[in-house]
Chains A and B, each alone.
Chain A
Amino acid sequence: QKEVEQDPGPLSVPEGAIVSLNCTYSNSAFQYFMWYRQYSRKGPELLMYTYSSGNKEDGRFTAQVDKSSKYISLFIRDSQPSDSATYLCAMSRSGNTPLVFGKGTRLSVIA
């Protein structure tokens, strides 16, 4: 079993829909949780960052962490075609340790 599991999709939604992306993990030592967006043949771009449990909101994006369930989510409201990309969850044990990534979920938002 991989440390971080993420459904690779693909996920296809109509424009304006609410998108829910999720990851589960097995290592209870993870404390830092991130979501990255990656367009085709580009480097990952940091979207959201959360430390420990709780919610964080930034514009149309909301990140949630439930450490008791070892489950993290990213919600995208009012999805736009420009949101079409691969979304990667990532996590780490401490502020210095390398990130452990999920496989990424490929999202298509159809106009």
Chain B
Amino acid sequence: AQSVTQPDIHITVSEGASLELRCNYSYGATPYLFWYVQSPGQGLQLLLKYFSGDTLVQGIKGFEAEFKRSQSSFNLRKPSVHWSDAAEYFCAVGLSSNTGKLIFGQGTTLQVKP
């Protein structure tokens, strides 16, 4: 069955430090990959997506992610974290571009130290 794993439940980084959130997926074909962010009491905001093409994708708020087929990974990165980045981050996989069904990872909570 298709699945998404975010190995880190909770990560704490200092403001200004770099960030990498890990995401691994299990799927036979090339999936459609997404990163979403959720602030407390809010819905999900799309940070970036990968459908095809360049494996390094740029998103909003200075985030980027790299698709590595050999490692079945789609890790999210940011060179310098801001206090406002504190939130929960979800990696998701879509199995077909024709449906809205997404399979989500369990999420990673990011805490930013001043």
> Is B a genuine binding partner of A?
no
